[in-house]
Each structure stands twice: as structure tokens, then as C-alpha cells.
Amino acid sequence: MKIEIFQLLEGARQARGLTIIIDVFRAFSTACYAFERGIEKIYPVGDLNLALSFKKEHPDYLYVGERNEQKPEGFDFGNSPSHLINAEINAKTMVHTTSSGTQGIVNAINADEILTGSFVNAGAIVRYIRKKNPEQVSLVCMGYACEYPTDEDTLCAEYIKNELEGKSSDFVSMKEKIKNGDGARFFDPSKQGWSPESDFYLCLDLNRFDFVLKVEKEGELNYLRKIEI
């Protein structure tokens, strides 16, 4: 099994084989928590206007997302697991648009199969890959708004790669490095309204979920399907 780590949108375009689009802070952590809260289907949409256009035909859907880390106007929630975890959610379908993760899905045009990736379901991802046993695995780190690589996404890719290769990872050290690096923004008092401290811990709750989220096609649209592993 050939395992490669790629970065940002260009990396998504280069990805081949079974591809994992990684966005720890926070898209693909938030997506897992949404399924835990009863959501059964997620449309990951790259274009904000397209996401907003859904509301005209589907006002009963849940609308979750961010631009510049903050909730877009007209959306129900920002891209925050903390905002979802205790909310009353009656919808079964969610439209999700973010600056990083959902963009990666749209740009992974050469992948054979796409999963989303985060620490919260990293173990399930590893088990899924082992079961499929593909020749090529591409781990794509989406970084901050697809602008530059980040500690959390790169370390998540390294964690998954190490597990697949039978190597150990020091997750405690990884978590500390993230906290002192790109995760420091979650501890900024001025950002607690949209990037609460609790998001840091929820997004780094290693192996909390025993399922993967696989990208499926519905006409021209992508959607995420939960697969228990």
C-alpha cells in the first residue's frame, strides 16, 4: 500500500486512490458530531451561494458553516461542534459549507473514493482502509482556509499513516503541539463566540466515533454517508 500525504487544494487535485480529506478544525469533526445528533445525510457544499440557494427549496434542512471562522448570515449554526452538541436538532439533512474541508472534496477530482478525516474517527478510518486494502492512499491536509498547512491536519495525516504502517504515535505530544500552535486561537477570549475553547477538545477527542463518512454522488451533488466500522 502506497501512502502519500498532500497539502491544500493542489494536494486534493493530486490525490489518487482511496483519498482522505482531512479537516480537524473543524469541518469533519463537526460533521461527525452532527451525525451523532441525529443528522442522517450531509451535503458538503463548496460554494456559499449554492448552499444558500438550498434554503428556498429545503427550509427544513439544517444549515451549518463558516466563512472566516464565523457563521454566514442565514445559517442555523457556525462550523462548531460545541454549538451542535447540546442544540435541539429536528432536521435529518444538513447542508455544510466551510473554507477548507468542503473545498477539498470538490477538488479531489481524481480520487477513486473519498472519506472525510479527523482525529475523532481516525481509528475507524484506519480500519476501513485496512479492510479495503487499496494500492494507493492519499491523505490530504486542507489547512487553514486552504491557504497554508496547519499542525492539526498534518499531524492527523501522520497519525493515520503511522497506524497503517504499524508505527506508534505520541498523541499526547501531538495534542500539545497543536494547542501551542494552530490551535491557540481557540483559547483567545475575543473568539469564544465562534471558536470556543470547547471546540479544541471536542475536535481532538481521539477515536470518539466508530464510523467513517464516505462521499457519495447524487446527480451533480456530493453527500456524506455514515458507515459503521
What's the mean per-residue pLDDT of the chain? 96
Q: What is the pLDDT of residue 86?
A: 87
What DSSP assignment string belongs to 158-208? HHHHHHHTT----HHHHHHHHHHTGGGGGG-GGGTTTS-HHHHHHHT-TT-
pLDDT given for residue 90 in this prediction? 94
How high is the pLDDT of residue 40? 98
C-beta atoms surrounding 174 within 10 Å = 20
Superfamily (CATH) of domain 2-228: ComB-like (3.90.1560.10)
Going along 62-181, which residue ranges are E strands?
Answer: 62-65, 77-78, 93-97, 111-117, 136-141
Instruction: Supply the pLDDT for residue 46.
Output: 87
pLDDT digits (tens, 9 = 90+) for 21-73: 999 999 999 999 999 999 999 999 988 999 989 988 999 999 999 999 999 99
The reported pLDDT for the residue numbered 100 is 87
Over residues 65-117, the pLDDT tens digits come to 999 999 999 999 999 999 999 899 999 999 999 988 989 999 999 999 999 99
**pLDDT at res. 41:** 97
Count Cα atoms within 13 angstroms, Cβ side, for 170: 5
Q: Which amino acid is at 105?
A: I
Q: Which residue has the higher pLDDT, 225 or 68?
A: 225
pLDDT tens-digit map of 151-199 = 999 999 999 999 999 999 999 999 999 999 999 999 999 999 999 999 9
- Domain positions in the chain are 2-228
